[in-house]
Structure 1
Amino acid sequence: MSQQAQWDSSVAFIFAMIGAAVGLGNIWRFSYVLYSNGGGSFFIPYFIAIAIMGIPFLILEYGVGFSFKESFSKIMQKIKPKFEIIAWILVLFVFIVVIYYMVILSWDLVYLLSSFTFSWGTDAAAYFTQTVGGSSNLSNAGFLLLPTTVCVLLLWIVLWFISHKNVDEGIGKVSKILIPALFVIMGIIVIYALTLPGASIGIDTLLTPKWEMLLNINIWLAAFAQIIFSLSMGQAIALTYASYLPENSKLIDNVLIVVASNSAFEIFTAFGVFSILGYMSATAGTPMVQLITEGTGLIFVVFPMIFNIMGPIGRVLAPMLFLAILFAGITSALGFFEPMLSSTSAKLGWSRKKTATVLSVIGCVFSLILTTGISSYLVGIIDSFVNQFGILLLIGIQCIIFAWFYGVEHFIPALNQYSTFKVGKTWKFIIKYLLPIVLIIMWAIGIVKLFSSAESFEIMVDLIIIIAVMAFAFILTKIKPSGE
Structure 2
Amino acid sequence: MNTPSSTQGAPVAGAKREVFSSRKLFILSAIGSAAGLGNIWRFPYVAYENGGGAFLIPYLVAILCAGIPLLFLDYSVGHRYRGSAPLAYRRLNRKTEVLGWWQVLICFVIAIYYAAIIAWAAMYAWFSVTKAWGDDAEGFFMGEFLQVAGEVTVSFDIVSAVFFPILAVWAITVIIMVAGVNKGIARANVIFMPLLVVMFVLLVVQSVFLPGAIDGLNAFFTPNWEALMNPGVWAAAFGHIFFSLSVAFGIMVTYSSYLRRKTDLTGSGYVVAFANSGFEILAGIGVFAALGFMAYNASAAVDEVVSGGIGLAFIAFPTIVSEAPFGSLLGVLFFGSLVFAGLTSLISILEVIVAAFQDKLGWNRKAATLIVTLPIALISIALFSTTTSLYLLDTLDAFVNQFGILACALVAVIVIGAGLGALPKLAKHLSRHSSIKLGTGWMVLVGGVGPAVLGYMLINEFQTKISESYSGYPAWFNGIFGWGMAGALIVGAVLLSLVPWSKKSKLADPEFAEHKGKVEGEELPEPAGKEY
Q: TM-score range by the shorter chain?
A: over 0.9
The answer to whether the Cα contact below 8 Å between 1:385 and 1:450 also exists between their aligned partners in 2 is no
Report the more deviating stretch, 250-259 or 107-116: 107-116
Equivalent of residue 376 in structure 2, options 339, 363, 370: 363
Match of residue 135, structure 2, among 104, 119, 122? 122
Candidates 77, 91, 97, aligned match of 1:64: 77
Q: Is the 8 A contact 2:217 2:292 kept in 1?
A: yes
The answer to whether structure 1 residue 186 and structure 2 residue 206 are counterparts is no
Alpha-carbon separation, structure 1, partners of 2:147 and 2:448: 44
> Residue 287 of structure 1: which of 301, 323, 328 is its match?
301
1:463 deviates by 4.1
1:434 matched to 2:449: yes
CA distance in 1, matches of 2:70, 2:147: 37
Cα deviation digits, residues 410-467 of structure 1 (max 9, x gap): 1223322222211111001111122112111111111111232224022232244245
Q: Tell me what 2:356 maps to.
A: 343
State the distance in 2 between where 1:464 and 1:388 align: 13
* 1:72–1:339 CA contact under 8 A, matched in 2: yes
Matched, 1:296 2:316: no
Considering fraction of residues, name the structure with more helix: 1
Change (3 A) 1:434 1:42: same
Larger radius of gyration, structure 1 or 2? 2
Q: CA deviation at 1:87?
A: 1.9
Aligned to 1:477: 497
Q: What is the TM-score normalised by the length of structure 1?
A: 0.96
Q: How far apart in 2 are the matches of 1:6 and 1:138? A: 49
Aligned residue among 427, 432, 436 for 1:421: 436
Can you give the 5+ residue segments of structure 2 that lack an aligned partner in the other structure? 1-11, 505-532
1:465 paired residue among 478, 481, 485: 485
Q: Give the equivalent residue in structure 2 for 1:390.
A: 404
Structure 1 residue aligned with 2:46, among 33, 40, 51?
A: 33
Mean Cα displacement is larger for which, 78-87 or 251-260?
A: 78-87
What secondary structure is seen at the aligned counterpart in 2 of 1:115?
A: helix
**What SS does the corresponding residue of 1:116 show, helix, strand or coil?**
helix
Unaligned residue ranges in structure 1 (runs of 5+): none
Q: CA deviation at 1:39?
A: 0.9
Note if 1:453 corresponds to 2:473.
Answer: no
Distance across 1 between alignment mates of 2:408 and 2:415: 10
Q: Report the counterpart of residue 228 of structure 1 in structure 2.
A: 242
Q: In the alignment, does 2:228 pair up with 1:214? A: yes
* 1:41–1:210 contact (8 Å) kept in structure 2: yes
Deviates more, 1:172-181 or 1:255-264: 172-181
CA distance in 1, matches of 2:327, 2:47: 26
Q: Distance in 2 between matches of 1:200 and 1:61?
A: 40
What's 2:170 paired with?
156
Letter in 2 for 1:447: F
Report the residue type matching 2:72 in the other structure.
Answer: I
CA distance in 1, matches of 2:411, 2:492: 19
The answer to whether the 8 Å contact 2:360/2:502 transfers is yes
- 1:336-379 deviation line (CA, Å, top 9, x unaligned): 11111111111111111111112221111221212221222210
**Map of 1:323 onto structure 2:** 336
Matched, 1:199 2:213: yes
| 8 A Cα contact 1:79 1:406, kept in partner | no
For residue 14 of structure 1, the aligned residue among 5, 27, 49 is 27
- Most deviating of 382-391 and 370-379: 370-379
Q: Percent identity?
A: 33
Q: Distance in 2 between matches of 1:169 and 1:142?
A: 37
Q: Deviations over 1:215-247 (max 9, x none)?
A: 111101100111011111111101110000012
Aligned residue runs from structure 1 range 132-171, under 5 A: 132-135=145-148, 137-138=150-151, 141-171=155-185
Residue 466 and residue 310 in structure 1: after superposition, are their counterparts in 2 closer, same or farther (change >3 A)?
Answer: closer
* Aligned-partner Cα distance in 1 for 2:422–2:271: 26
User: Could you say what the CA RMSD is over the residues aligned between the two structures, in angstroms?
Assistant: 1.7
Once residues 293 and 473 of structure 1 are traced to their aligned partners in structure 2, the CA distance between those partners, rounded to angstroms, is: 36
Cα–Cα, structure 1 residues 163 and 410, in superposed 2: closer, same or farther, change >3 Å? same
**Could you give the per-residue CA deviations for residues 167-214 of structure 1, whole angstroms, max 9, x where no partner exists?**
011110111111111111111111221122211110111122111111
* Matches of 1:464 and 1:210, distance apart in 2: 39
The C-alpha deviation readout for 1:374-413, integer Å capped at 9, x for no partner, is 2222101000100101110101111123223151111223
